[in-house]
Structures are given as C-alpha cells and as structure tokens.
Amino acid sequence: MNLWQEYLRPTNLSQALQAFAEAPGPILPIAGGTDLLLDLEQGRHAPVHTLLDVTSIEELNRLEVRGGELFIGAAVPVNRIVLDPLVRAHAEALTEACALIAGPQVRNVASLGGNVAHALPAADGTIALLALNAQAEVASPSGICRVPLKDLFVGPGKSSLKHGEELFVGFYLPLSTPHQASCFKRIMRPQGVALPIINLAISLERTEDLISQIRIAVGPGGPTPWRGTDAEKTLTDKPLNMETVDDAVEALLAQVGFRSSPRRASADYRRRIVTGLLKDVLETAWKRAEQE
C-alpha cells in the first residue's frame, strides 16, 4: 500500500496548477510532509494518487522584504525561519513559535504552509501568524489572491483551501515599526501530547506609555485559531498596569471558548493558566516594544 503513486516536483507555479488540473486521481501538495505523510500512513487522511512537491518552486522558497511587507514562502523550512534575522526583527513571535516546533531534523523540512494548511486550532506557527496579522497568498487556476489568515480556517483540522485546486504561495506580514514588538509562549505537558495545552502570541505597538495597537492570538481558544478581540479592545489606548491586565484577562476569559481535551487539559485548567501566560507574554512584548 504505497502512500503515493506519482510524485511531481514542479519548479514554478503554473506547472503546479497545471498538475492540479491534470491529475488522474486525488492530488495533494506536499512541502515537508512531516504531518501529511503520517496522516496518510495512519489513515487519518484519505489516500492520494499524486503528491505535488512544492519545495522546488522558487516563489514558495523566498523569504524577503517585499514592498513594505515581509514575505515568507509557504515552503520555506521552519528552521530557516528560526534563523532568519528579518523574521526576528519583524516577527519575533514567529521566530519563537518556530523554534519550539520539534527538533532540527523536522524543522529543516516542515513548512509554515503545511502548518497553516493543517488548520489545527493550536498550531504554534499559525497562532504566531495570526497575532502578527499575516495574510496568506493563495494561488488557484483563477489567479492569485490574498486571504486574511483567519479566513483560512473553517473548523478543527479543516482549512478553506480547496483540495486539488488551491495552493499556498506564502504569507505576508506587516513590517514592524519602532515601538512594535511581538512574543510567543506556550504551556505543554510532558506526556505524549504533541499539541500545546495553550499557546499564546501577542503583537503590540507602544506609543509612549500606552498600548496603541494589539493583537492577541490564543490556541486552542476555539475550533479555529482564535483572536482575543475583546481583550485587545480593553487594552487599546491603555497603559500596561495591574488593573488593565486584569481587565484584559477578564475580557479574554469572557470571550474565549476553551474546551476540555481528553488527556491534554480540562477547560477549567486552561482558563486558570491562561491568566499567567497572558500576563507573561504581554509583559515581554511590552518590554520589547520599549527597547525597539
């Protein structure tokens, strides 16, 4: 029972899209494959005929500043993201999230495109991208379009990407200005659970002693990667102090939809520990914004 019958390695986007159109059976794009191949092998994913290896498409391997934005190709290995100074400068939360993914042997092949396509509500890379206000660039036979990250998710493990038609090209992140900073942290359990109990990313802008802009992403705060917009509102244009943090915690807890996941964490546990995590990440991002 072979995991695939045909393996294609297009070198440009039009070849890839053509392969979609011509595939004789189910076709899936593959970058690192560190999740996908196991899903196929362990029967969590319907069998495919063709794997479309996107790692040789140049556009998907670019990591650069492009027209006032940071572009990270969908197939760029996570380890390159960890080591890249541009990412650290403009999206430190993403550096931190990617550094926590597995070991170097997996990070050297795993990609952000795969992480997002997997559509898990607490994928580390995804949560960081969400806080960083990323947009995805999606290629399809009808052209290339940009999609806000949030719109890519329809349910746990379900992405809005159309199978056999659409492909992630990459992600655009706004460049960080002085007094903007971000941070990512997570809480795990040491037992055999690969997903975090909670992960949390914040990106904020500081004007003098006020938070002028903030985005808070929490996984798994809902069935899809989740933003704590109410907590964001309570903090916007406020200073960071015990009172505002408490208000933010309250707002987050009122809005968040934590659930109990068997053997991972109860909703109650998540509600309690998110407090400390939110404070911790908030304070770190706040300090970083000052140093900028």
Partner 1 sequence: MANINLLVNGELHSLEPVPGETLSTLLRQRLRLTGTKIGCDEAECASCTVLVDGEPVVSCVYPAERADGRSVVTIEGLAQREHEDTKLHPLQEAFVEHGAVQCGFCIPGQIMTAYALLQQNPNPDSADVRFALKDTLCRCAGYPAIENAILAAAQALRTGEPVPKPRIPDSIHAHKSVGHSYTRHDGVDKVIGTAMYTDDLVFDGMLYARVRRAMIPHGFLTKLDISKAKALPGVAAVLTAEDIPGEHKHGLVIYDWPVMVGIGERARYVGDAIAIVAAETQEIAEQAAALIEAEFDLQPVITNPVQARQEGVPQIHEKGNLLKHIKVRKGDMEKGFAEADVILEHTFHTPTYDHAFIEPECSIGVPTPEGRMEIYVGSQIPYQDRTQVARAMGWPEERIRIVGQLMGGGFGGKEDVMGQIHVAMLANATQRPVKLLFDRHESLLVHPKRHATQIHVKIGAKKDGRIVACETELYGDTGAYASLGEKVMTRATTHSAGPYDIEHVRADCYAMYTNNPPAGAFRGFGVTQSAFAVESMMDMLAERLGIEPVELRRKNALHVGSVTNTGQLLRESVGLTECIDRVDAKMREQTPHPFEPVIDPAHPSLVRAWGFAGAYKNTGLGGGAPDISNAEVELYDNGTFEVRSSSAEMGQGLVTVMRLTVAEEMAVAPEQVKVLVMDTDLTPNGGPTTASRQTYVTGNASRYAAKTLRDAITATMAEKYDVRPEQIRFENGIVHVNGHSLTYAEVAKEMKSLGQRPRALYEYEAPRTQPLGTGGDMHFAFSFGVQAAEVEVNKLTGEVRVLKVISANDVGMAVNPLGLQGQVEGGVMMGLGNALTEEFIMENGYVVTDRLARYRIPGIMLTPEITSIIVEHPTAEGPYGAKGVGEICSIPTTPAITNAIYNAVGVRIDKLPVDQELIAQELWEREAE
Q: Which residues in this chain contact partner 1 in the complex, by CB under 8 A?
A: 1-7, 9, 30, 32-34, 37-38, 41-42, 51, 53, 55, 77, 79, 102-106, 108-109, 187, 189-194, 263, 265-266, 268-269, 272-273, 275-276
Smallest distance, partner 1 to C-beta of residue 78, A: 12
Rounded CA separation 77/278 (Å): 29
* Minimal distance, residue 66 CB to partner 1, in Å: 25
30 or 149: whose CB is closer to partner 1? 30
Phi, psi of 153 (to 5 degrees): -110, 130
Give the residue with the Cβ less far from partner 1, 4 or 153. Answer: 4
Q: How far apart are CA 30 and CA 37, in angstroms?
A: 9
Smallest gap, in angstroms, from Cβ of residue 119 to partner 1?
A: 19
Q: What spatial distance separates the first Cα and last Cα of the chain, rounded to whole Å?
A: 54
CB 68, min distance to partner 1, A: 31
- CA-to-CA distance for 75 and 81, rounded, in angstroms? 11
Cα distance between residue 176 and residue 268, in whole Å: 35
* H-only helix segments in 23-153: 36-41, 78-83, 85-90, 92-99, 104-107, 112-117, 124-131
**Which of 105/241 has CB closer to partner 1?**
105
Question: Considering beta carbons, is residue 105 or 229 the nearer one to partner 1?
Answer: 105
CB of 8 to partner 1, least distance (A): 9
Least Cβ distance, residue 77 to partner 1 (angstroms): 8
Q: Is the peptide bond before 239 cis (omega within 30 degrees of 0)?
A: no
**Residue the block writes with tokens 């492009």:** 66
User: Contact 274/197 with Cβ under 8 angstroms?
Assistant: no
Q: In angstroms, what is the minimal distance from the CB of 45 to partner 1?
A: 14
Pick between residue 14 and residue 105 the one whose CB is nearest to partner 1: 105
Q: Between 15 and 108, name the residue whose CB sits nearer to partner 1.
A: 108
Q: Residue 275 CB: number of other CB atoms within 10 A?
A: 16
Closest distance of CB 105 from partner 1, Å: 4
Select 196 or 225, whichever has its Cβ closest to partner 1.
Answer: 196
Between 136 and 256, CB nearer to partner 1: 256
For residue 49, what are the CA distances in angstroms to 6, 15, 164, 277? Answer: 6, 17, 11, 44
Nearby residues of 92 by Cβ (< 8 Å), 6 or more positions away: 181, 182, 183, 184, 288
Number of H helices, E strands in the chain: 11, 14
